[in-house]
Structures are given as C-alpha cells and as structure tokens.
Structure 1
C-alpha cells in the first residue's frame, strides 16, 4: 500500500514489521514514540531516510529506508538496510570507517550508515563504484546517506576524508 507522505509510508511499514499492536494501557501505537528520522536524501521520485527505532528494552536499531514515488504521486516502501542494535561492536579498526548497508543495484542504488571517527575529525565520505560512479556525502551526527540515479556496480570503495580534505582511509563496502 502507498502513502502520499514518504515518512508516513516508512512509519507504516516499520510499524507493521517491528512493533506490537497498540498498547492496551494507553491506546497509542508504539511507533508514535519509538521511530525517529535522523537524516534524509532526495532525488526526483526517490528518497532514503535514516531511521532509529527503539524497542521495548530501550535498544536502538537503525535502518536506511528507501521509498519510491509511483505514477500517481504516492510513496511506496521499496527496501531497507540495517545494522542491528546501535552501539554493538562493528569492525575493529583504528581508522575512519563507513559501516554501510544498502541495496538497489545497479539502477536504484541507496546506502547509509554510521561513520566511525576515532578522533580523526571525519567530515565526508566518497563512494567509488567499479563502473566509475562517484557519490559523496557529508557526515552529520556520525551518519552518511547515498542516493543516485546513476548505475552502480560492485565492488564499491569508500574513501574517508578529514576536515582538511585529507584521505584518512579507504575500504570496500557493500561487497
């Protein structure tokens, strides 16, 4: 089912997948209190949103959610990537690192996730696909999002840059 509001479409989908029915004690849906939108990127007819969900135990789970606009202008949930519970150990490295999830290759590429800074003042990340497509984003609150209308082929390399524009580290992502 589609919705004229892309954020509401994401709330509806994640609520159906993750949240129990309305609480008997207050009659409110859990999703009204537990879903937060932290960052978004938009191009014509397509959007990605970085969403944080908090479960009953207070654990936070993040998702990069992808929606597309249909022919009548409504938004449809098309996919999501998440990396489990926020704060759990990721790759053990002492360099800047982009821990990304995504999909939609080759023609509807999206990706997003957290950037490990390690005190290096990381400010932006550049993705370079095998076919030459380059996508960049600025780190905001430790988060990056990538969305393009260009074809993207694996493998993809992430380049991590500091405030001075110096390449700090590079590594493969989504492979």
Structure 2
C-alpha cells in the first residue's frame, strides 16, 4: 500500500497482500499512517471495492507504486522475496527527495528540517540550564511560525505547478464546439 499526502507529497510504503479485507487494510492504515498524521480530511483511491466507502478512500497512486517497484528492484535479492525488508529504506529515501511541485522534500514539509543522513556520531546535546527555558519556549514559537511559512509555501508552489500543468495540457487541446 502506498499512501501519499497531497499537500506535502510525503509518502509511506506498507507491505500488504493483494487481496485484503477492509478491516485488515484499516488496521494497516491505523498502524502505519494514522498514528503519524491523524485521520485525513479526504482520501482518494485507485483500488476498487475495498476502498469504495466514504470513510475509506485511500491516497494510492500507480505512479507511486511504479516508483517503489523501480526503487526496490535495485535492492531485493534474486528471489525477490525480501522486498518488505527494504520498505523502510525506500520510504526514507522517497521522503527526502525534493518534489518538483512543492520545491521541498516531504520530510522537510512535515518537520521543518532535513533528517540526519550519516551514521557518524550524533552532535552533542548541550545541558539546558533552568534560565534557558524561556529561550526554548521562544524556539518553539519560532518553529511553529516556520511550519506555517512552509505550509504557505507548499500551497503556493502547488498552485503554481498545477497552473503550469494546466497551461501545458491545454496547449494541445482544441476548444469544444457546441452541436
């Protein structure tokens, strides 16, 4: 199952069987998606009767699945039976690629920072003195403000990308004629 956030373009990859009951898929969704993002306002699906209900419209794309298959093909063993072991790495990689429409990676869009990518020693965490509590509170306010700015930029970039895509699509179309 591939779930893509339409605003941030963030994505999650969850292994599942081809034929699943709605309850089983709902449990996967709760376990892997809802716990991180909460219940979405809307969900769009391309999968048929399993996703038909008003509550259960999943954000699944064949394009995202094709990306995942292409990515995993490079890493799975010759028998191709260990693909589920590579899903976390594939998800991490996909979440850190800058999206053309948003101009930022889904990870950055959701968190406001880029993840640590190396396996070197972590940076030292300084000891926080009590007088620094006000400073930490100010940092929290700055972070919240930054996240609002990122969300506004995401929306602006998406609207711009959609307008460009519409212009490009309309260059080859002819106007409809009334009959």
Q: Same fold (TM over 0.5)?
A: no
Q: When you count strand as a share of all residues, which structure comes out higher? A: 1
Return the TM-score normalized by structure 1: 0.24
Return the TM-score normalized by structure 2: 0.23
Q: When you count helix as a share of all residues, which structure comes out higher? A: 2
Larger Rg: 2
